[in-house]
Amino acid sequence: MGVLGGTAFFLLFQLCGLCMAQALFSEESGGVRLLLGSVLGSVSLQWFPVPFAFFLGFSRAAHLCAAGLVLVCAAISVFILQHRERLRLFSGFSVFRKRKFLWVVLLVTLFFWLLVWRSFRFENGRISSSQATFGDMSMHLSFITSMARQGTFPPEYPLLPGFRLSYPFLSDSISSSLYLFYHLGDELTVFWVEALKWSYFLPMAAAGAQVFFGGYLFVSRLLTSRKKAALAWIFFFFNGGFGFLYFLGSKEDFLRIFTDFYQTPTNYVEENIRWVNVIVDMLLPQRATLFGWAVLFPTLYLLYRAAYEGRKRYFLYAGALAGLLPMIHTHSFMALALICGVWLLGDLLRKLSWEDWGARAGKRLLVLGLPGMWGLQAFLRHAGKQESMGLLWAVCMGACLFLLVLGWLLWRCIRRGEGVKLFSTWGALLLTACVLALPQLCFWTFQQAESGGFLRGHFGWVIGEDGYLWFYLKNLGLAGVLALGGLLSAKSEAFSKYAPALVIWFIAEFAVFQPNPYDNNKLLYVAYLLLCCGASDFFFRLVERIRAAGMRRLAGGVTIALCTFSAVLTMGREWNARYEIYGDGAIALSSFVEEHTEPDALILTDTRHNNEICSLAGRNILCGSSSYLYFHGLPYGKWERIAALLYEQPGEHEEWFREYGVEYILVSDFERSSYEVDEEWIAARFPKIYDDGVRVLYDARQ
């Protein structure tokens, strides 16, 4: 009944979101309203409990208040619709009769759902993951279960208690909201694992559909051609370069794709293939990226309609969705801000009739920039300054120059009498976004970023020892070449639409915004979506020069095959991958901990990443895996040393158990292999409350 209750709660928000979309976007087609309504429903479920949770905790009471709020919004929407038109909640499904490619989008969405379902397998009392989710899933499960079980708000890291959870946790809280409705009865059975799996899966399934359909909605509007939009969509979601060539040497090399750990044509570190497939290595394991893009792509659609098609109201709607993005996915918020800035620049140039000049200047910078980046790489590598504050200062100077130019153009437009129009459109977007986003950034993001070494100068993403141009050629493949041609041959208006990709790429090549430089790809992929639009447009202009229809079809088939072959192989590997992360013993221990310990209990364990205490039982541990904590910028070193000393020298540091709030001690094969555990002292000092012959849990509260 708890699972049914959580599902009904989720569907309630989806239904209310559809009602709101009917009122806000009544002039849009049924398919667009269906998509935007689903997005509004998910965003409401992520955000509406938050203001109540500050007073009531992350509890059922807060969620019931959130349900009341969304019902009020839906009721207002229905009241508005009664005076405008009849309520049409499901008219959007008729769009499948008009656009045949949407059936392809639907099939890919169903495939993604199956990947998500297979990435969390619960069979024979054991939990297994796929290859892509082997690392990240345990961290996300720890956030989901701890928020649902502990109810603390603002939430803290269960992997390092005492530190505010500044990771964009709303991508996980939406699953916590569902899991919250599963009540642990007197007789706990393994059904709670199925409840956790369903809570994990259902919001991801909705977000996946929102990403795939939202991406197609945006590119089809930008390109104004269904065929071009279809190809751009394929380039983006089936991205993969020439990595497959490394596996064609022999049968054994080819089979390694499907048997070895991370030996795929889109993620082959040994040969510096790092441009991972969007579906497998971005959407599937990285929930923040998945839920961020679920909001970002529809927001880009609204922004495009506002900036290029005169829908002034959409500036306000786009600003509201943008302002809600930081704690869903901060990188998506950053990318959207950059796109807004460049599109505003293009709008000002159009108003001043300087758009052609701006496009020519941008193309010249691109032509000079590619060899310039190659030369700069050689210089910085020789000087040993691939990481330096000078690179960060270069980005800051570029940003200041951009703002000065933007301010000057804005002043020129205001003098021409465009001030009121600009402030009522772009000004409304900026004000709305800032009012909603700044409290999140100040309360969560900036505090951790300042202390975690997030922002620093770094050249060349993860190019390593490869040459600049060679690295991107083998990683982006033919789609990258077509994108370059699309940028250089684009007309002025089209170039202004693609131009944000160049700005994002430039910034991501000179600065990193998190401890791991690799994570800059969360910015680069948003730029790549725009580049795929340019690549598709350029390809069709090339093909139009071929007179024979058969040759045109052949060219299209070969291009799609070369651009997607690496992705298809990677997806096949992900379908085949299976790794056990929690055995039946770990699940039995988690069940015991759920029943017999307080929700906010702190348990001493080792620092393994697949820790059942925090991931399945939702309890706090003294110190979690450094592979999570380091990349979140947390100072975990002290607690990591304390955990080791409490296991190896507990008698000499007995007072630390109380000082650091350790209530239980787990000794299993993991702890015995990680430390030289003085189990004799622990067993003599603390009573056992659980012992299955491998895992022993001691009560350290006395």
pLDDT of residue 309 exceeding 90, the answer is yes
Q: Going by C-beta distance under 8 Å and a sequence separation of 6 or more, which residues neighbour residue 439?
A: none
- Distance from C-alpha of 63 to C-alpha of 332, rounded to nearest angstrom: 26
Q: Is residue 69 part of a domain?
A: yes
Out of 155, 189, 207, pick the residue that ends a domain: 207
| CA pseudo-torsion sign 693, 694, 699, 700 | positive
pLDDT band, residue 187 (cuts 50/70/90) = very low
Q: What is the pLDDT of residue 87?
A: 53
- Distance from C-alpha of 687 to C-alpha of 698, rounded to nearest angstrom: 6
Average the pLDDT over 481-485 and give the result.
95
Q: Is residue 243 part of a domain?
A: no
φ/ψ of 570, rounded to 5, equals -65, -40
pLDDT tens by residue, 235-276: 999 999 999 999 998 888 899 999 888 899 999 999 999 999
Average the pLDDT over 75-80 and give the result.
87
Number of structural domains in the chain: 3
546 and 648 part of one domain: no
Out of 178, 207, 236, pick the residue that ends a domain: 207
491 and 547 part of one domain: yes
98 and 190 part of one domain: yes
Count of beta carbons in the 10 Å neighbourhood of residue 605? 25
pLDDT of residue 185 exceeding 50, the answer is no
- Distance from C-alpha of 301 to C-alpha of 324, rounded to nearest angstrom: 16
- Which two tokens mark 280? 């497998």
pLDDT of residue 353 exceeding 70, the answer is yes
Q: What is the pLDDT of residue 190?
A: 62
- Which two tokens mark 469? 């141009």
- Distance from C-alpha of 47 to C-alpha of 323, rounded to nearest angstrom: 11
Residue 529, H or E segment: helix 521-543
Q: What is the pLDDT of residue 52?
A: 96
One-letter amino acid identity for 380?
L
- Distance from C-alpha of 614 to C-alpha of 19, rounded to nearest angstrom: 38
pLDDT tens by residue, 109-138: 999 999 999 999 998 889 999 999 999 999
194 and 340 part of one domain: no
Q: What is the pLDDT of residue 667?
A: 95
Q: Is residue 391 part of a domain?
A: yes
Residue range(s) defining the domain that contains residue 39: 2-207
Alpha helices in 441-491 (DSSP H): 446-451, 468-476, 478-489
Q: What is the pLDDT of residue 686?
A: 94
- Distance from C-alpha of 137 to C-alpha of 314, rounded to nearest angstrom: 36
521 and 479 part of one domain: yes
pLDDT of residue 496 exceeding 70, the answer is yes
372 and 469 part of one domain: yes
pLDDT tens by residue, 377-432: 888 888 888 888 888 898 999 999 999 999 999 999 999 988 899 999 999 999 99
Out of 147, 182, 207, pick the residue that ends a domain: 207
Closest CA to 119 of 38, 192, 204, 41: 204
Strands (E), 462-610: 511-513, 579-582, 602-604
With H, G, I as helix, E, B as strand and everything else as coil, classify residue 599.
coil
471 and 340 part of one domain: yes
Average the pLDDT over 342-367 and give the result.
93
Average the pLDDT over 569-595 and give the result.
93
Average pLDDT in the chain: 91
Q: Is residue 222 part of a domain?
A: no
**Tokens 């923040």 map to which residue?**
288
- Which two tokens mark 355? 């758009």
134 and 35 part of one domain: yes
Q: Is residue 216 part of a domain?
A: no
| C-alpha pair distances (Å), 467 with each of 123, 286, 563, 632 | 46, 29, 22, 30
pLDDT-above-70 percentage for the chain: 96
Average the pLDDT over 499-516 and give the result.
93
pLDDT tens by residue, 207-228: 999 999 999 999 999 998 999 9
605 and 500 part of one domain: no
194 and 256 part of one domain: no
pLDDT of residue 96 exceeding 80, the answer is no
Q: Is residue 223 part of a domain?
A: no
Q: Is residue 656 part of a domain?
A: yes
Alpha helices in 416-458 (DSSP H): 419-440, 446-451
Q: Which residues pair with 164 in a beta bridge?
A: 156
448 and 299 part of one domain: yes
One-letter amino acid identity for 579?
Y
Closest CA to 379 of 390, 395, 365: 390
pLDDT band, residue 89 (cuts 50/70/90) = low
515 and 637 part of one domain: no
Q: Is residue 633 part of a domain?
A: yes
